[in-house]
Amino acid sequence: MSLRIREARLEDARTIAEIHVHAWQQAYRGQLPDEHLDGLSVEERERMWRDGVSHAEPEWRCWLAEMEGRAVGFCATGLSQDADADRRTAELFAIYLEPNVVGTGVGRELFAYAVADLQIRGFHTATLWVLETNERAKRFYELAGWKQDGATTTERIDCLNYPTVRYRVELA
């Protein structure tokens, strides 16, 4: 497996959107309503990612994983948006893979790369939010050393306000 990880560029927005939609439709089937998943639009996600990449905050990064020159996953990080976070707390906003590479180690390498970048940039803590019902993702984070910190919410619009739990890891 020849994996390359690089920072995403504006011209990657369509590819990121396609991965985002495919991954959601696969990963969240049975956790979010089918009609919502079936209605996800690559075009809407592309607009979102174009805006995100072109108007990114200085602390924001989006990493693209490529195998044999083809994008197979992405990970977005930045300054935590949580009300209880300080300026040295980062957040992992998204990590998604094409369904055919899930379980191959690509996600683990991409995740480790993004976390190492947060450490290099001086963040001391990182958090992420995950659907409470997403056992596969929770196992993935726990195997990487992340732990639930007790915070929960039903105010994450991207998850249709379904219950989500926060995970945390100390980076320093």
Domain range for residue 105?
3-170
CA distance 168 to 49: 25
Looking at the structure of the chain, the number of domains it has is 1
- Rounded average pLDDT over 113-137: 97
- What does pTM read for this prediction? 0.94
pLDDT confidence bin for 85, thresholds 50/70/90: very high
- Tell the residue number behind the tokens 């991954």, with chain if given: 23
Q: Is the pLDDT of residue 156 over 80?
A: no
CA distance 78 to 106: 21
pLDDT confidence bin for 155, thresholds 50/70/90: confident
The fraction of the chain above a pLDDT of 90, given in percent, is: 88
Q: Is the pLDDT of residue 86 over 90?
A: yes
Q: In CATH, what number is assigned to the domain containing residue 36?
A: 3.40.630.30
